[in-house]
Structure 1
Amino acid sequence: MTQESHRKSSKMGKGDPKKPRGKMSSYAFFVQTCREEHKKKHPDASVNFSEFSKKCSERWKTMSSKEKGKFEDMAKADKLRYEKEMKNYVPPKGETKKKFKDPNAPKRPPSAFFLFCSEFRPKIKGEHPGLSIGDVAKKLGEMWNNTAADDKQPYEKKAAKLKEKYEKDIAAYRAKGKVDAGKKVVAKAEKSKKKKEEEEDEDEDEEDEDDEEEEEEEDEDDDDDE
């Protein structure tokens, strides 16, 4: 086996085959459907991935919310499937199980740069529809670096407020978690105490039965003596 083929085979062997398949987005389901449609229409034709991706992206942009709804429902169902499977998944020995994220936990606040990107990304996409995601991100980075400190302030102030809110929310969330954990500990302790009391009652009943048997034996001995 060559070094290259060994590297490929070892790469393929990596990962746990029992690990749940990752969740798919609504757009991923849409692309999958497009690929299946293309295969049916052109079973022998080879697919140019970059061209195919571009066509899918253009088609997705022109679709109505109603048309996208079907794929969004598929994504929601797949997310539930993934979360359920991940709860029951036990990773192989030596691997650490990825911490399951609570969907009810407060979300981390966006940075000032992220808020800036959210505002200007649609504008850049509109002006340069052919740009890739990486190129759009690069352009946004350049814009941010060239933005004056005074113009950055509104985004920084908003980010600071969101961070403050997040810190309060996460503190309340963690406190609630501790309360819930405390309730579980108390419930477990009460259950254990009840079980112990029941066992003690059973032991007392057995002792009473033994005493009664001893008394009966003593009475029989007295009768024999007479």
Structure 2
Amino acid sequence: MAKGVPNKPKGKMSAYAFFVQTCHEEHKMKNPEVPVNFAGFSKKCSERRKTMSSKEKGKFDEMAKADKVRYDREMKDYGPAKGGGGGDDDDEDPNAPNQSPSGFFLFCSEFRPKIKSTNPGLSIGDVAKKLGEMWNNLSDEEQQLYNNKAAKLKEKYEKDVADYKSKGRVDDAKRAAAKATTAAQEKEDEEEEDDDK
């Protein structure tokens, strides 16, 4: 199973990975107490593989092919590979209110364009790092200005969410009532048709 993702199949191994694994197992059998220095061990494995015949390498190629078959079979049964991260974003209502930003986020949205215009060559990560440094260098009073704006936006967001949720329930109630009315009307129409016959 892959790390962090429940029930995800273990990844497929290459022929070289099987070769290194075999070398590691041989090393552990011969020298159980000697720890492995991976950089040096990897270099020795690479040199050893270069001297191997095609027949010897073929054994590891077969192991990799068999593992690929196993991996493909398990992935077919696994499922959630398509569609990206597998989050709940698909279920989100586009009409739902957007989450309110934090004070730091408001600060960033104000200063990011300034940093990008004065330093056009900076990467996204470097801009974020610079913004973090600038935020940390602000006094508590200066940070509080942004946090107060964020608190007001959060209040508005919470009110919008409450309105959104109550509107959704009202809409659901209206929809249910309309459906019941339609069903009653259809039943009445059917009864009238039966009476006419």
- 1:197 is aligned, of 182, 188, 191, to 188
Structure with the greater alpha carbon radius of gyration: 1
**Greater alpha carbon shift after TM alignment, 112-121 vs 142-151:** 142-151
SS across alignment from 2:180: helix
Aligned to 2:150: 159
- 1:3 is aligned, of 3, 6, 13, to 13
Aligned to 2:28: none
- 1:178 is aligned, of 165, 169, 176, to 169
Deviations 1:6-65 (A, max 9, x none): 67x85x98744xx6xx9xxxxxxxxxxxxxxxxxxxxxxxxxxxxxxxxxxxxxxxxxxx
Gaps in structure 2 of 5+ consecutive residues: 1-11, 15-63
Identity %: 56
Q: Root-mean-square deviation (CA), in Å?
A: 3.0
SS across alignment from 1:99: helix
Aligned to 1:78: none
Q: CA deviation at 1:105?
A: 2.5
Q: CA deviation at 1:188?
A: 0.6
Deviations 1:110-169 (A, max 9, x none): 110001101111222233221100111111112212222111011000000011111111
**Greater alpha carbon shift after TM alignment, 146-155 vs 158-167:** 146-155
Aligned to 1:187: 178
Q: Quickly say closer, same or farther: Cα 1:161–1:126, change in 2 above 3 A.
A: same
Aligned to 1:135: 126
Aligned to 1:145: 136
CA distance in 1, matches of 2:151, 2:89: 30
- 2:160 is aligned, of 162, 169, 174, to 169
CA distance in 2, matches of 1:102, 1:131: 35
With the length of structure 2 as denominator, give the TM-score of the two structures: 0.54
Q: CA deviation at 1:172?
A: 1.2
SS across alignment from 1:198: helix
Instruction: Trace 1:15-164 onto structure 2 (pairs within 5 A).
Output: 15-16=81-82, 98-164=89-155
Moved over 6 A (4+): none
CA distance in 2, matches of 1:117, 1:165: 20
Gaps in structure 1 of 5+ consecutive residues: 23-94, 207-226
CA distance in 2, matches of 1:163, 1:102: 19
SS across alignment from 2:90: coil
CA distance in 2, matches of 1:199, 1:120: 68
CA distance in 1, matches of 2:154, 2:128: 23
**Greater alpha carbon shift after TM alignment, 193-202 vs 170-179:** 193-202
**Greater alpha carbon shift after TM alignment, 160-169 vs 136-145:** 136-145
CA distance in 2, matches of 1:109, 1:96: 20
With the length of structure 1 as denominator, give the TM-score of the two structures: 0.47
